[in-house]
Amino acid sequence: MKIALAQINTVIGDIKGNSEKIIEIYHRAEKDDVDLVMFPELSVCGYPPLDLVEKYEFRKAIADTNKRLSRETSSVGLLFGTITERYESVGTGLYNSAMLCYDGRIQFVQNKMLLPNYDVFDEVRYFEPAKDVFLHEFKGEDLAISVCEDIWNDDDYWKHRRYHRDPVRELIGNGATILLNISASPYAYGRRMERYNMLSTLTKKDKLPLAYVCTVGAQTDLIFDGASMCFDRKGELCLLGKSYEEDYLIFDTNKKYTPVRTIEKTFEEEVLKSLILGLADYARKTGFVKALVGLSGGIDSALVTYIAARAFGPENVHVLLMPSQYSSEGSIKDSLKLVENLGISKNIIPIQPVFEKYLEVLKPAFQNKPPDVTEENLQARIRGAYLMAFSNKFGYLLCTTGNKSEMSVGYATLYGDMCGAVAVIGDVYKTQVYKLARYINREKEIIPWEIIHKAPSAELRPEQKDEDSLPPYDFLDQILEMYLEEYKEYDEIVERLGNPEIVRKVLQTIDNNEFKRKQAAPVLRVSRKAFGYGRRFPIVQKWRRP
Amino acid sequence: MKIALAQINTVIGDIKGNSEKIIEIYHRAEKDDVDLVMFPELSVCGYPPLDLVEKYEFRKAIADTNKRLSRETSSVGLLFGTITERYESVGTGLYNSAMLCYDGRIQFVQNKMLLPNYDVFDEVRYFEPAKDVFLHEFKGEDLAISVCEDIWNDDDYWKHRRYHRDPVRELIGNGATILLNISASPYAYGRRMERYNMLSTLTKKDKLPLAYVCTVGAQTDLIFDGASMCFDRKGELCLLGKSYEEDYLIFDTNKKYTPVRTIEKTFEEEVLKSLILGLADYARKTGFVKALVGLSGGIDSALVTYIAARAFGPENVHVLLMPSQYSSEGSIKDSLKLVENLGISKNIIPIQPVFEKYLEVLKPAFQNKPPDVTEENLQARIRGAYLMAFSNKFGYLLCTTGNKSEMSVGYATLYGDMCGAVAVIGDVYKTQVYKLARYINREKEIIPWEIIHKAPSAELRPEQKDEDSLPPYDFLDQILEMYLEEYKEYDEIVERLGNPEIVRKVLQTIDNNEFKRKQAAPVLRVSRKAFGYGRRFPIVQKWRRP
C-alpha cells in the first residue's frame, strides 16, 4: 500500500484554515497516486483544543467540516483526526476520532480508546473512551487505525502500564496487516528516541509495517516536533519526517528502504530549534511580526534575543537596554556588541530618573525604613513598565527572559522581569542556557564571550551576585532536575547529592513560589516537566517534608 | 445510631495539623457518647491536593498518618477521607478513600468510584476508581459509605448522567440501613439548594437516613461553604451545619427532628460571606495578617476594601489613593469617606510626578506618536508598582480589585490594576458588585452612595467612561452569564437578547483575552464557572464562530 503522511502545522480553532490545508494536500496526494493520505490527531481543530470542545457551536463546525471533507474524496483514502459526537444517555458522547473517508463518504471511524490524563493531558475531561476497536478492510489490506496514546501501552515495552487495555494489540490479534497511527506528541529532549524505541519494538515483534504521522508546530506552550515515522516489518525506520517543520512523506509498504539511523540530534540543536519554532508559532498564530526583549547584559536575555532574531528575523527584533546605577559598565558594552552581532535595533533608556522619582514620592510613607527587596523589585518593575510601554506603542511581542532555575526558586520579580507574552527559556535550566550559548558560538562569536564568562547577577544592588542568594547553578540545577523531572524527593536527592540543608531549603523554596508561577507567562516546554499547565500545585498549601 | 459530623477547615498539605484536629475532635466526640464520628473527603491532606499526590514522600506521610489515626481509636468509629495506595501492575494504584477505624485498627476502606474530572476537578489525573462497593456492618447497622461524587449520579434526579455506575444505588440494593457520605463540594450560589434537592430526593425514595459531612474553608480559589446535612427516612432535612465556619453536629438516626426549612440565604448574603471567608483563609493559610487595596474612588475597589476590612479587621487594612490628573475630585473625597466609614488607614500618593518622568524618559523613543493605550496602561502600572512597593515594604497582602465583567473582556491592565495575590471579586459581575454594595448599605451608609451612583470610569484619560468602550453593564453581564455559565452560544444569546453585532463582538473579545487571564491572580470562585483552574482555553487559537 502506498501511504502519504501529511505532517501539518494546524492552528487551534481554525477549522476553516486547517480543513483547507487538509483538502489541498489530499488533492496533491491524489496526483501522487497513493492509496491513502493520513493527517495527525485532531487535525481539523488543532491539538489540544481544551475547553473549546465544550462549545456546541465549535463541535457543530467540526461536524460540518467532517462531512465536507468526506465529500471531497475520490477512491483515495483520507484519514484524519477529528471530534465525533453521538447522543448517549451517560457521559459526554464525544470522541477523539480517526476518520477514514473515500468515495465521497465517511466510511469508517475509530475512536481513541486510551485517553491520556496526566501531565499536560486532560482528555478524560472531554472525551469518552472507545469501547472497542475494529479493523477496516481497504484495498486488500486490514488496516489497524489508532490514535496517538492507543499505541503507547505495549506490555513488552512498558514496565508499568497506565491502562488495562491495549487496543493496538487487540487489532493485531484480529489480523491487522498494516498499522496506522495518527498522533500529536509534544516534544521534550529524548522523546523522539523513546517514540522510535517503542514503535520499533512493536513493529519488530509483530512483523507489521507502521505509518505514524505526527503533528508539528507550537500551540501556546506545547511544541510538537513532527518527525513522523514509517517502519517496515523488521522494525527498521524507513522514513523520518522533518523536525520542526511541515513535511509530506510517501511510504510504500512493499518497497525496501535504507534504514534511517539518526533519530535525534544533540540536546543543543534540538532544544534551540524547538524554542525558535515555539516563539515563531506563538507570534505567527497571534499575528505578531516584531519582538521586543529587555537586554540586561546577562546570558538569559542574550539567548532569548538570539532566539527572537532567528524566529522573527533580526530586522524585526528590538531590544531595550535599561541600565541602573548598579549596572556594570560591561553590561552595556556587551549588550551593544550582541546588538551589533545580531543586526537588531535598540534603545538605551536608563531607569535611574524614574527610580529616583519613585523613591522621592514614596519616601514620606516609607519614612526611614532601610532599603530592602522593595527597592530591588521596583527597579525590575520600572524595566517591565518600559518594555510594556514599547510593546503597547509599537506592537512588539514582549519575550520574557527568565530561565527555569530562576522560576523554580522564585528568583524573579512579578510584574517586573516576569512581564511578557511568552517565557521563551522558562523550561531551560541556567546550566543549559550556557550550553546553548556555547553551541550558538560554535563557529563564531554571536553571543559575546564576555556575557558567557561573567558571574550571573541581577544587578539590583551593589556588587550583587546570584550566588549570594542561591546555591551555585551547577548544584542547584541537579537538585531541580531530580525534583522536577525525575520525581525524586528529599531522601533520594540527598543520597545522591549530599548537602541536606541546602536541598531541604531549595525544595521548600520551589514549593513556596507557586504563587509567582501562577502569574507567569506561558512557558515553552522542552523538558518532560515544565512549569505551567502540566504541573499543577496548590498555591495555598503547607506541605512540609518530615 | 448516633453520628457526629465534624465539619472542619483543613489546610492543604498540612497533614500534621489536619490529623491533630481530627484526633482532638474524635476524642471530644467519644465523650459525647456517639457511635461514629465522620470527617470530610481527604481531610488528612486537604482538598484538592492536586499534584502533591504525585509526591511519594507526601503519600508516605499520609499512609503513616492513616495508621496513626487508627491507633487512636476506641470502639467509637472514626470515618475520614484520605488517600490509600496499593501496588497494581496497571494505573496509579492510588485511591481517594473513606477509611473507617475503630478498636485501634483500620477496619474498612471504601474507595471513591466516581471521579469527577470536569470544571475544577481533575481526579482521574490522580486516582483509580473503585471497582466495587461494599457495606460495612457496624453496631447493628449496614453502613453505606461513599465519597462525595459517588452520591451524585442518581438516575431519578439527573436527566443526563455523567457515569455509568451508581455506587450508592448499588449499596442500597445490597441492603444498606444508613447512608454516610464524606464530601468536599465547592460553593457557588444555588449549589446548596441543589445538594438539598438531590439528597432529599434520594433519601425520600429509599427511606434511609443520610449523614453528609462537608468540608468548609477556602483553598486558594475554591470556597467550601460547609453546610453539612442530615436527612431522615422521609427525606426531611434534620440538621444543617453552619455555613462558612467549622461546625460539629450530632445526628441521632432514631430521633425525631423539626425539619430545617431555610437552606440558602440571599445571593448577597451568601456571596459576601463566601468572599470574606475566601480572602480570610487565603491570608491565614499563607501567613498574611494585613491587607492592602488600591482605592480608586470606584465601586469595585470600595467593595474589595469592605471585604478586606471584614476579613482582616479594619485595623489591619491599608489603602492607597493614587490620583492622576484625570481623577475626578469626587474620587478622592468619596474614597476618604469610605476610609472613615470603615476605620482603616490610608496614604495618598499621586501618580503624576512619576508619570511625567516616564513620559519624559520615553519621549525621545516615542517621538511624536500620539497618546494611546500605552499612556493609559502606564498609569495603571505606576499604581501597580506603588501597591507592590507597599506590599513588599510592609508585608501587606495585595488584593486585586477587578470584577468578572472586566476580566471577561480584558478591560484591565496586566501588571497594573491586575497586580495582587488574589482577585477578590474576579468572579462577581459588575451588576452584582452594585447589588452587594447596596446590600452592605442596607442599614446605614458604609460604601458612600456617591460611589454607587456615579458612572463607572477607569479615569485614565479625560472624561473617560467605561461605557465608551463597553456595552452597558446590565446588557454586557447578561451576555456574559449566558456565555460563561450557561454554555449558551451566539445564536441562543442573540435569540434572547438581540443585538447580534454587539453579542458577536463581546464573545470574540472574551475569547481573545485569555492571555491576560492566564497571568491573573487566582479568582475566588462564587459562580458555577469562574476564570481560572476550572476554565481552560488555549491562549493561542483562532476559533471564529461562523
Judged by CB atoms closer than 8 Å, whether chains meet at B521 and A519 is answered as yes
Tell me: cis bond preceding A48? Omega within 30 of 0 counts: yes
Closest residue in A to B389 (Cα–Cα) = A374
User: Measured between alpha carbons, how far is B193 from B187 in angstroms, rounded to an integer?
Assistant: 11
Judged by CB atoms closer than 8 Å, whether chains meet at B419 and A421 is answered as no
Q: Give, for A239, the enclosing helix (H) or strand (E).
A: strand A237-240
Closest residue in A to B166 (Cα–Cα) = A90
A414: Cβ contacts below 8 Å, ≥ 6 apart? A516, A519, B388, B419
Q: Taking a contact as any Cβ pair under 8 Å apart, which residues of chain B between 72 and 131 contact chain A?
A: 89-91, 117-118, 122, 124-125
**Which of B45, B101, B148, B238 is an active site residue?**
B148
Span A287-291, mean pLDDT? 98
Nearest to B282 among A518, A519, A540 (CB): A540
Span A82-108, mean pLDDT? 96
Other Cβ atoms less than 10 A from the Cβ of A454: the count is 17
Q: Mark A535-546 as b/e (b = at least 16 C-beta within 10 Å).
A: bbbbbbbbbeee
pLDDT of residue A228: 98
The overall average pLDDT reported for chain B is 96
B483: Cβ contacts below 8 Å, ≥ 6 apart? B489, B493, B506, B507, B510
Nearest to B357 among A11, A353, A521 (CB): A353
pLDDT of residue A278: 98
Q: Residue A467 pLDDT more than 90?
A: no
User: In the block, which residue shows the cell 495585595?
Assistant: B398
User: Measured between alpha carbons, how far is B497 from B482 in angstroms, rounded to an integer?
Assistant: 10
pLDDT of residue A156: 83
**Which of A21, A112, A285, A430 is an active site residue?**
A112
pLDDT of residue B60: 97
The overall average pLDDT reported for chain A is 96
Q: Residue B224 pLDDT more than 90?
A: yes
Q: Which residues pair with B399 in a beta bridge?
A: B422
Task: Indicate the range of A249-253, A305-309, B85-89, B299-303 predicted with least confidence.
Answer: B85-89
Q: Taking CB atoms and an 8 Å cut-off, how many pairs form between chains A and B?
A: 261
Span A249-260, mean pLDDT? 97
B294: Cβ contacts below 8 Å, ≥ 6 apart? B301, B319, B320, B322, B383, B386, B387, B401, B417
Report which of residues B459 and B339 the model is more confident about.
B339
pLDDT digits (tens, 9 = 90+) for A339-373: 999 999 999 999 999 999 999 999 999 999 999 99
The alpha carbon of residue B518 is apart from the nearest alpha carbon of chain A, in Å, by 7
- Angle at the Cα of B255 from the Cα atoms of B254 and B261, rounded to 5 degrees: 120
Judged by CB atoms closer than 8 Å, whether chains meet at A164 and B117 is answered as no
Q: Residue A155 pLDDT more than 90?
A: no
In the annotation, is B430 catalytic?
no
Closest residue in B to A349 (Cα–Cα) = B361
Largest CA distance in chain A: 86
Percent of chain B with pLDDT over 90: 93
Residue extents of the structural domains in chain B: 2-264, 270-467+513-518, 471-511
Q: Residue B466 pLDDT more than 90?
A: no
B55 CB near a chain A CB, below 8 Å?
Answer: yes
Q: Residue A78 pLDDT more than 90?
A: yes
Q: Residue A437 pLDDT more than 90?
A: yes
Percent of chain A with pLDDT over 90: 93
Span A517-538, mean pLDDT? 97
Q: Residue B330 pLDDT more than 90?
A: no
Pick the residue of A58, A542, A544 with the most B CBs within 10 A to test the interface with B by mutation. Answer: A542
User: Measured between alpha carbons, how far is B410 from B513 in angstroms, rounded to an integer?
Assistant: 5
Q: Residue A157 pLDDT more than 90?
A: no
pLDDT digits (tens, 9 = 90+) for B335-356: 999 999 999 999 999 999 999 9
Q: Residue A130 pLDDT more than 90?
A: yes
pLDDT of residue B456: 86
The alpha carbon of residue A32 is apart from the nearest alpha carbon of chain B, in Å, by 32
The alpha carbon of residue B362 is apart from the nearest alpha carbon of chain A, in Å, by 8
Q: Which residues pair with B129 in a beta bridge?
A: none
The superfamily (CATH) of domain A2-264 is Carbon-nitrogen hydrolase (3.60.110.10)
Q: Residue A227 pLDDT more than 90?
A: yes
Task: Indicate the range of A127-141, A219-233, A321-335, B440-454 predicted with least confidence.
Answer: A321-335
pLDDT of residue B329: 84
The alpha carbon of residue A203 is apart from the nearest alpha carbon of chain B, in Å, by 23
Q: Residue A35 pLDDT more than 90?
A: yes
Give how far Cα B341 sits from Cα of B292, B306, B348, Å. Answer: 17, 10, 17
Q: Taking a contact as any Cβ pair under 8 Å apart, which residues of chain B between 128 and 187 contact chain A?
A: 160-164
Nearest to A369 among B365, B393, B519 (CB): B393
In the annotation, is B112 catalytic?
yes
Band (pLDDT 50/70/90 cuts) for residue A468 is confident
Percent of chain B with pLDDT over 70: 100
pLDDT of residue B462: 83
Q: Residue A495 pLDDT more than 90?
A: yes
Judged by CB atoms closer than 8 Å, whether chains meet at B12 and A543 is answered as yes
Closest residue in B to A373 (Cα–Cα) = B392
**Which of B2, B21, B112, B273 is an active site residue?**
B112
**Which of B21, B41, B149, B376 is an active site residue?**
B41
Q: Which residues of chain B does A164 touch, with a Cβ-Cβ cutoff of 8 Å?
A: 90-91
Q: Residue A462 pLDDT more than 90?
A: no
pLDDT digits (tens, 9 = 90+) for B151-196: 998 888 888 899 999 999 999 999 999 999 999 999 999 999 999 9
Closest residue in B to A320 (Cα–Cα) = B365
In the annotation, is B492 catalytic?
no
pLDDT of residue B264: 97
The superfamily (CATH) of domain A270-466+513-518 is HUPs (3.40.50.620)
Q: Residue B110 pLDDT more than 90?
A: yes
Q: Which residues of chain B does A544 touch, with a Cβ-Cβ cutoff of 8 Å?
A: 13-14, 16
Rounded to 10 deg, the angle between the A473-480 and A490-497 helix axes is 140
B270-467+513-518 CATH, one of 3.30.750.200, 3.40.50.620, 3.40.50.970, 3.40.50.10710: 3.40.50.620
